[in-house]
């Protein structure tokens, strides 16, 4: 259990480090990739809805606290995405190369739109819906480029340190 928590915490730390240092200056149309979202998708596909939601919450809350974002928005969005992808994995049993790409694109679009909707609902931002739409497409394309690198590594790690169920009699 401790090994799993440490490994997944390391994934969050490494994703945030790469996202804020190496990938931060590489913006396309003002948007940058979301490595944490890709990690949430990979963990949810490897572990299921509960673990995906828990990892999404931890990743989102860490991002909110360390990146000066409104606290709770990323945590809520990543929790929902982790649960949704983890639930959908039962229906997505294919080992196709295209499956992670489709999941990354759909999760990226949903994540940016959900964040925009929450920020608009809370009246915490000064952007337009056209900006949210453009950012969603740009983040999705950027994440598509990074999915073949990030998804297999994180999923393999999550499967390796999978929690074993213990039944006590």
pLDDT winner (highest mean) among 27-31, 51-55, 115-119: 51-55
Number of domains in the chain: 1
Tell me the pTM.
0.88
Q: Is residue 103 part of a domain?
A: yes
Cα dihedral 9, 17, 34, 141 in deg (nearest 10): -130
Decide if pLDDT at 167 tops 70.
Answer: no
* pLDDT attached to residue 168: 59
Which pLDDT tens digit goes with each residue over 101-114? 989 999 999 999 99
CATH number at residue 146: 1.10.1760
What per-residue string of b and e applies to 18-44 under the rule 16 or more CB within 10 Å gives b?
ebeeebeeeeeeebbbbbbbbbbbbbb
The residue range of the domain holding 60 is 2-160
Across the range 115-127, mean pLDDT stands at: 79
Q: Is residue 168 part of a domain?
A: no
């Amino acid at each position: 259990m401790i090994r799993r928590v440490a490994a997944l915490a390391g994934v969050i730390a490494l994703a945030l480090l790469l996202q804020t240092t190496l990938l931060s200056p590489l913006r396309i149309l003002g948007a940058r990739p979301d490595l944490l979202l890709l990690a949430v998708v990979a963990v949810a596909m490897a572990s299921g809805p509960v673990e995906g939601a828990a990892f999404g919450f931890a990743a989102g809350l860490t991002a909110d606290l360390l990146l000066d974002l409104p606290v709770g928005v990323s945590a809520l969005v990543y929790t929902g995405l982790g649960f949704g992808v983890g639930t959908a994995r039962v229906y997505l049993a294919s080992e196709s190369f295209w499956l992670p790409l489709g999941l990354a694109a759909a999760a990226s679009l949903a994540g940016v739109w959900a964040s925009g909707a929450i920020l608009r609902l809370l009246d915490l931002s000064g952007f337009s819906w056209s900006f949210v739409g453009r950012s969603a497409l740009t983040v999705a394309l950027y994440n598509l480029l990074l999915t073949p690198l990030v998804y297999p590594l994180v999923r393999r790690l999550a499967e390796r340190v999978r929690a074993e169920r213990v039944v006590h009699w």
